[in-house]
């Protein structure tokens, strides 16, 4: 049964595998596998279509963080996206919906270019596939950042670790250190972190020891990986989150942050992100079996 409403899109594959997408910002606010929620959204979030949703999977475009011309992290998360197709069931049994964003009133005032963005969300049995394409319809080239900002729900961030960024250069924004080399294969997430890893490999693994769960990430044309944890002291002072939420969330952002993209007229750019949940008992050579 299609439960899609004016503001929310619901994908249901059966067997407690579901996904909810807000048309405001095309934010994926919920993704459940085996009935277990995989995404974090703050209890302070208000769904009033006035501010970006604090959590879920957010789209950052066309600028990362502070922007003198417009809202922080751009305007894509503050616009209502149109449903182009779906939701519909594929022959595999997977559920898919296609959203589009074109130049609108908000963007006209601050970023006056013609563009067309297509965002395809596909819900599989244990996976979520996100495909993003932008085409420049302007007479001129334009520069932009684009990232998937994933807020991953965990029982306790202090029991999690990340793999897949060894030998990458990174920027440590907390300690103001630039282009250091990541020497360890694993990063423990038991303290406040804000690191930008430049040109990382396509595969990232997050291990949640307490929940005996692993989140596998495969990314294409999303070179940079940003890892953020809040930390207890900072978590107590953040207005957008409740004081006891700081250890329930891991922020993972994948995309083009370190260098902006220059997109020529009539040209397109595609980026792909695949997330897969596995229990410890299923761990094996995921790179082979994932695809």
Give residue 1's pLDDT. 42
- The mean per-residue pLDDT over the stretch 235-254 comes to 80
105-123 pLDDT, tens digit each: 666 778 889 999 999 999 9
Instruction: Using the predicted structure, report yes or no on whether residue 2 has a pLDDT greater than 60.
Output: no
CATH architecture assigned to 8-156+218-279: Distorted Sandwich (2.70)
- The mean per-residue pLDDT over the stretch 38-53 comes to 83
Q: Which residue has the higher pLDDT, 258 or 271?
A: 271
Share the mean pLDDT of the chain.
88
> Cβ atoms within 10 A of the Cβ of 31, count?
26
Whether 61 contacts 51, CB under 8 Å: no
User: Which residue's entry shows tokens 């779906």?
Assistant: 86
Give residue 166's pLDDT. 93
Query: What is the domain partition of the chain in residue ranges?
Result: 8-156+218-279
Give residue 3's pLDDT. 57
Instruction: Using the predicted structure, report yes or no on whether residue 218 has a pLDDT greater than 60.
Output: yes
Tokens of residue 221, six digits: 């044309």
Three-class secondary structure assignment of the chain: CCCCCCCEEEEEEECCEEEEEECECCEEEEEEECCEECECECCCCCCCCCCCCCECEEEEECCCCCCCCCCCCECHHHCECEEEEEEEECCCCCEEEEEEEECCHHHHCCCCCCEEEEEEEEECCCEEEEEEEEEECCCCCEEEEEEEEEEEECCCHHHEEEECCCCCEEEECCCCEEEEECCCCEEECCCCEEEEEECCCCEEEEEECCCCEEEEEEEECCCEEEEEECCHHHHHHCCCCCHHHHHHEEEEEEEEEEEEEEECCCCEEEEEEEEEEEEHHHCCCHHHHHC
- The mean per-residue pLDDT over the stretch 62-77 comes to 86
Instruction: Using the predicted structure, report yes or no on whether residue 192 has a pLDDT greater than 80.
Output: yes
> How many Cα atoms are found within 13 Å in the side-chain-facing hemisphere of 96?
16
- pTM, 2 dp: 0.91
Predicted confidence band at 286 (pLDDT cuts at 50, 70, 90)?
very low
**Beta partners for residue 59, in sequence order:** 148
54-64 pLDDT, tens digit each: 899 999 999 99
CA distance 36 to 235: 24
**Beta partners for residue 252, in sequence order:** 150, 227
Predicted confidence band at 235 (pLDDT cuts at 50, 70, 90)?
low
151-186 pLDDT, tens digit each: 999 999 999 999 999 999 999 998 888 889 999 989
């Amino acid at each position: 049964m299609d439960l899609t409403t004016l503001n929310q899109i619901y994908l249901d594959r059966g067997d407690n595998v579901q996904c909810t997408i807000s048309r405001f910002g095309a934010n994926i606010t919920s993704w459940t596998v085996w009935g277990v929620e995989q995404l974090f959204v703050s209890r302070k979030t208000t769904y009033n279509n006035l501010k970006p949703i604090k959590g879920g999977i957010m789209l950052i475009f066309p600028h990362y963080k502070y922007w003198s011309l417009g809202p922080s992290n751009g305007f894509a998360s503050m616009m209502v996206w149109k449903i182009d197709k779906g939701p519909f069931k594929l022959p595999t049994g997977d559920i898919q919906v296609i959203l589009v964003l074109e130049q609108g009133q908000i963007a006209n005032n601050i970023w006056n270019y013609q563009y067309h963005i297509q965002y395809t969300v596909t819900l599989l049995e244990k996976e979520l596939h996100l495909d993003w394409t932008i085409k420049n319809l302007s007479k001129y080239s334009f520069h932009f950042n684009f990232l998937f900002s994933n807020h991953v729900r965990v029982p306790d961030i202090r029991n999690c670790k990340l793999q897949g960024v060894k030998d990458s250069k990174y920027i440590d924004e907390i300690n103001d250190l630039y282009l250091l080399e990541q020497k360890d294969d694993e990063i423990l997430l038991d303290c406040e972190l804000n690191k930008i890893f430049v040109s990382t490999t396509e595969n990232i693994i997050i291990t949640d020891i307490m929940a005996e769960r692993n989140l596998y990430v495969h990314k294409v044309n999303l070179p940079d990986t940003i890892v953020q944890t809040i930390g207890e002291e900072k978590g107590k002072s953040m207005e957008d989150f409740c004081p006891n939420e700081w250890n329930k969330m891991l922020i993972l952002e994948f995309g083009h942050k370190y260098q902006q993209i220059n997109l020529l007229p009539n040209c397109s750019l595609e980026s792909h992100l695949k997330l897969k949940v596995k229990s410890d008992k299923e761990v094996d050579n995921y790179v082979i079996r994932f695809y």
